[in-house]
Amino acid sequence: MNKKIAVIGAGSWGTALSVSLSGNGHTVKIWDLDKVHLKELFENRENIRYLPEVKFPDTLQISYEVREAIEGADIVLFSVPAQHFRSALDGAMSYLKPEMVLVNVAKGIEQKSLKRLSEIAYEKLPNARYVVLSGPSHAEEVGRAMPTTLVAASDEKELAEYIQDVFMTECLRIYTNSDVIGVELGGALKNIIALGAGISDGMGYGDNAKAALMTRGITEIARLGDKLGADLSTFSGLTGIGDLIVTCTSMHSRNRRCGIMIGEGMNPSEATQKVGMVVEGMYTTDAAYELAKQVGVEMPITEQIYQVINQKIDAREAVKRLMSRQKKHETEELFK
């Protein structure tokens, strides 16, 4: 089953998926807004900037024009930072055809509109054949064909199963889900908790603190998800607790690495810059903080991380505030 696939965005994740798909017999063309970066990909047959030491299959093609990449494609995969998804979609719209399946792998919430990325896609293309692909996955491992599991979620069961068939390999196992809201929120909001886990590590706290952050973190993620119409069972799966675990515990995680530097005392903007790639949690924290206020959901960890990264309080004050909150039964008003 050879499919023609256009990949929009040549960062680490777009590159890793391109390598996997090409190696699985599909015709893949990758495009990026950065022409210098594309030239480097073409010359080196490797993404030295974002995914070094992962060689490209001979069949992986580099496109210098977005039109050329998308023309004739069966699937258009968007792998751009969440805050740039709208503009990337705008740039591709002239070349998209109704029969093309749009796959989005970014994890975030748009800051100004507070919209999930599927909401942006349907705003632009009401009849879009949209699938979100998410789960506990580091590009560094997928690019090296290490065992990984992902979830393809769509409002249309057939589309999710179609992407499952196309993306699945001996090393990449794909599950399906119909809960687009829950899958998108789990992927976006876990980055906030990963920032917190990193801050905790940077401050020298131990496993106890991280376990508490992760457990109470998934609780408030699920609480917001429930309010917005997600299926609660999604948050106990790969795109909920699974993605949270990998992002809070691995040094591959940009959000955790950024958090560590903040916890050690570095200015948040300086820490973000030092990571060298987009730290989605820095943007999603702001958006989730505003969204939680808008819909009336209590998210204490998110609120304190928001205060820290916006330099309203320091990390030790945030810990003090979380630890001295009003006493509760663990499951009291869990999803209210």
CATH class assigned to 181-323: mainly alpha
Q: Quick check: 253 pLDDT over 90? A: yes
Average pLDDT rounded to a whole number, residues 276-282:
93
Catalytic status, residue 190: yes
- Residue 336's pLDDT is 47
Q: Quick check: 333 pLDDT over 70? A: no
At 104, is the pLDDT very low, low, confident or very high (cuts 50, 70, 90)?
very high
**For the domain 4-178, what is the CATH superfamily, name and number?**
NAD(P)-binding Rossmann-like Domain (3.40.50.720)
Rounded (10°) CA dihedral 123, 129, 130, 131 = 170
Evaluate the CA torsion angle 20, 283, 50, 207 in order and state its sign: negative
Do residues 95 and 271 touch, judged by C-beta distance below 8 A? Answer: no
Average pLDDT rounded to a whole number, residues 158-163:
98
At 1, is the pLDDT very low, low, confident or very high (cuts 50, 70, 90)?
confident
Q: Quick check: 123 pLDDT over 60? A: yes
Q: Quick check: 218 pLDDT over 70? A: yes
At 160, is the pLDDT very low, low, confident or very high (cuts 50, 70, 90)?
very high
Domain boundaries in the chain? 4-178, 181-323
Of 97, 190, 293, 320, which is the active-site residue?
190
Q: Residues 56-81: pLDDT tens digits? A: 999 999 999 999 999 999 999 999 99
